[in-house]
Amino acid sequence: MKKVIIVGAGISGMTAGICLQSSGFETEIYEKNPVPGGELSGWRRDGIYIDNCIDWLMCSKKGSTMNDLWYKIGMLEEGLKLYEKDKFFTYKGHGGEITYWRDKERTKKEMLQMAPEDKDAIEKFFENVVRAESMIVPTDKPMDKMGLRDFMKLGDFAKNIPAAQKAYKGLSLKDFANTFHNPVIRNSFLLMHPEETQVFSFIMSYATITSGSGHIPEGGSLAAALRIAKRYKDLGGKLNLNSPVKNVKLNGKTASGIILEDGTEVSADYVICATDANHTFTKLLPAEYMPKKLKKAFDDKEHFSVFSKFHAAFLIDCKTSLPEDTSFWESDGITVWDHEYKDVGVICYDYDPTVAPEGKTVIQMKLFQYADEVDKWFEIAKDREKYEAKKKEVAEKMIDIIAKRCPEAEGKIKVLDAWTPVSYAKNCNAYRGAYMAFVADKNTKTVTTPGVIKQLSNVFLAGQWLMGSGGLPPATAQGKYAAWRICRKEKVECK
Ligand SMILES: Cc1cc2nc3c(=O)[nH]c(=O)nc-3n(C[C@H](O)[C@H](O)[C@H](O)COP(=O)(O)OP(=O)(O)OC[C@H]3O[C@@H](n4cnc5c(N)ncnc54)[C@H](O)[C@@H]3O)c2cc1C
DSSP per-residue string spanning 256-282: EEEEETTS-EEE-SEEEE-S-HHHIII
DSSP 270-326: EEEE-S-HHHIIIIIS-GGGS-HHHHHHHH-TTTEE--EEEEEEEEESS---PPSEE
- The residue whose C-alpha atom lies closest to atom 2 belonging to ligand 1 is 53
Which CATH number among 3.40.50.150, 3.50.50.60, 3.90.1150.10, 3.40.50.300 corresponds to the domain 3-53+61-79+219-301+448-490?
Answer: 3.50.50.60
319 C-alpha to ligand 1 centroid (Å): 32
Residue nearest to atom 48 of ligand 1 (CA): 38
Nearest CA to ligand 1 atom 15: 471
* Spacing, Cα 332 to ligand 1 middle (Å): 32
Distance CA 26, CA 17 (A): 9
CA neighbor of 214 nearest in space, from 469, 436, 41, 471:
471
Distance, CA of 394 to CA of 253 (rounded, Å): 50
Q: What are phi and psi of 445, to 5 degrees?
A: -80, 145
Question: Domain extents for the chain?
Answer: 3-53+61-79+219-301+448-490, 97-212, 307-433
User: Which residue's CA is minimally distant from atom 20 of ligand 1?
Assistant: 472
| Whole-number pLDDT of residue 214 | 97
The answer to whether 285 and 381 have CB atoms below 8 angstroms apart is: no
Is 266:28 a contact under the CB 8 Å cutoff? yes
Instruction: Measure 77 CA to ligand 1 centroid, in angstroms.
Output: 21
Query: Concatenated DSSP letters for 73-141?
Result: HTSS-TT--EE--SEEEEEEETTEEEEEESSHHHHHHHHHHH-GGGHHHHHHHHHHHHHHTT-----SS
Full pLDDT tens readout for the chain, 495 residues: 899 999 999 999 999 999 999 999 999 999 999 999 999 999 999 999 999 999 999 999 999 999 999 999 999 999 999 999 999 999 999 899 999 999 999 999 999 999 999 999 999 999 999 999 999 899 999 999 999 888 888 888 888 999 999 999 989 999 999 999 999 999 999 999 999 999 999 999 999 999 999 999 999 999 999 999 999 999 999 999 999 999 999 999 999 999 999 999 999 999 999 999 999 999 999 999 999 999 999 999 888 888 899 999 999 999 998 999 999 999 888 999 999 999 999 999 999 999 889 999 999 999 999 889 999 999 999 999 999 999 999 999 999 999 998 999 999 999 999 999 999 999 999 999 999 898 878 888 888 899 999 999 999 999 999 987 789 999 999 999 999 999 999 999 999
Q: Of all protein residues, whose CA lies closest to atom 4 belonging to ligand 1?
A: 53
Beta strands 254-260 and 96-101: pairing type?
Answer: unpaired
Atom 13 in ligand 1: residue holding the nearest Cα: 471
Amino acid identity for residue 409 in this structure: A
> Residues of 437-473 as b/e, b for ≥16 C-beta within 10 angstroms?
bbbbbbeeebbebbbbbeebebbbbbbbbbbbbbbbb
pLDDT score of 304 = 87
List ligand 1's pocket residues with C-beta within 6 A.
7-13, 30-33, 38-40, 52-56, 58, 244-245, 274-276, 279, 428-430, 435-436, 463-464, 471-473, 475
Distance from C-alpha of 98 to C-alpha of 493, rounded to nearest angstrom: 49
pLDDT of residue 412: 97
| Measured distance CA(127)–CA(206) in Å, rounded | 13
Q: For residue 279, which atom of ligand 1 is closest to its CA?
A: 38
Atom of ligand 1 nearest to the CA of 13: 25
The pLDDT value recorded for residue 159 is 86
Condensed to tens digits (0 to 9), the pLDDT of residues 84-119 reads 999 999 999 989 999 999 999 999 999 999 999 999
What confidence score (pLDDT) does residue 424 get?
98
Ligand 1: centre distance to CA 41 (Å): 8
Rounded distance from Cα 128 to ligand 1 centre (Å) = 29
Ligand 1: which of 40, 88, 221 to mutate, most ligand atoms within 8 Å of CB?
A: 40
The 10s digit of each residue's pLDDT in 373-416 is: 999 999 999 999 999 999 999 999 999 999 998 999 999 999 99
CA distances from 19 to 32, 127, 235, 369 (A): 22, 38, 10, 36
- 12, 472, 478, 480: residue to mutate for ligand 1 pocket, most atoms within 8 A of CB: 472
The pLDDT value recorded for residue 443 is: 81
| The pLDDT value given to residue 305 | 86
Task: Say which DSSP state 10 is in.
Answer: B
Residue 311 has φ and ψ, to the nearest 5°, of -125, 145
CA distance 5 to 460: 10
Using the mean position of ligand 1's atoms as its centre, give its distance from the Cα of residue 163 in Å.
Answer: 30
Distance CA 188, CA 95 (A): 12
Residue 50 has phi, psi (to 5 degrees) of -115, 120
Atom of ligand 1 nearest to the CA of 470: 11
Q: Is residue 10 a contact partner of residue 462, using CB atoms and an 8 Å limit?
A: no
